[in-house]
Amino acid sequence: MQTEYTSSPIPSCWWVDLPETAYDKALELQLAIVSAKTDGRLVADVILCLEHPRVFTLGRRGGRENLCVSDQFLAEKGVQVIPTHRGGNITYHGPGQLVVYPIIHLSRRRLKVVEFVSGLEQAMIRTAAHWQIRAQTDPANRGVWLSGDKLGSIGITVRRGVSFHGLALNVNTDMVPFGWINPCGLKQVRMTSIERFLGHAVSMAEARRVMAKSVAEIFGFDLDCLSPEQLCRDLNVTLDPLTNKGHPS
């Protein structure tokens, strides 16, 4: 899937490992990167890798109708419901779930949206294969599946040729909150995780490393690891979006 330029060099691609980050703050950071790329201040592509605290997000097709518990119940559990502009329906994010947000200038890399999404699915499949798990795609539904259960989800947005949002792979995720929704708008679909399949937890640090390697191989990216501090300096934003204390400067 590696692509070539005809008139300009392939830009750098930065891989940034973030700590557990509130969903709205991670979105602010994504939007800051998208803005910097679309107005020419940032040439490099950026891939954010992180985990979120517990949260439900709604896609462009909505999803609140697929929420099976009351707002009061969620308030008592301390779980937010946040509308987004990504594709898809309602989904859950939480600790133990590996989330990857590729902010990639698809048109400059000659990547079509369909092949980009398929590549993200393959990255999840390769990551699962590291633990001898044979996940697969489903022609009827995006994401990756394991023995009929859903292991990982995808939902992206493209703005002026630049992708954001991304994938979520269940590694050591608590499965209980998935029972409070029809995941991705699909009734009678059970979610699963690498931990559930193996019967024991796996290292999230190892999952991050394997995912980075898989993404690099599938898309032909030459990844440069960048710290959150370096990223924020290059974007001229504060660290507040990562620490849930503020907003881009």
Q: Which residues are known to be catalytic? A: 184
* Pairing relationship of beta strands 45-50 and 13-17 according to DSSP bridges: parallel
CA 172, 194, 101, 177 dihedral sign is negative
Contact present, 166 and 43 (Cβ < 8 Å): no
The strand ranges marked E within 18-140 are: 45-50, 55-58, 80-83, 91-93, 97-103, 136-138
**Which H or E run contains 124?**
helix 113-129
SS3 state of residue 16: strand
Classify residue 35 by its DSSP letter.
H
Kindly report the three-state secondary structure assignment for every residue of 95-120: CCEEEEEEECECCCCCCCHHHHHHHH
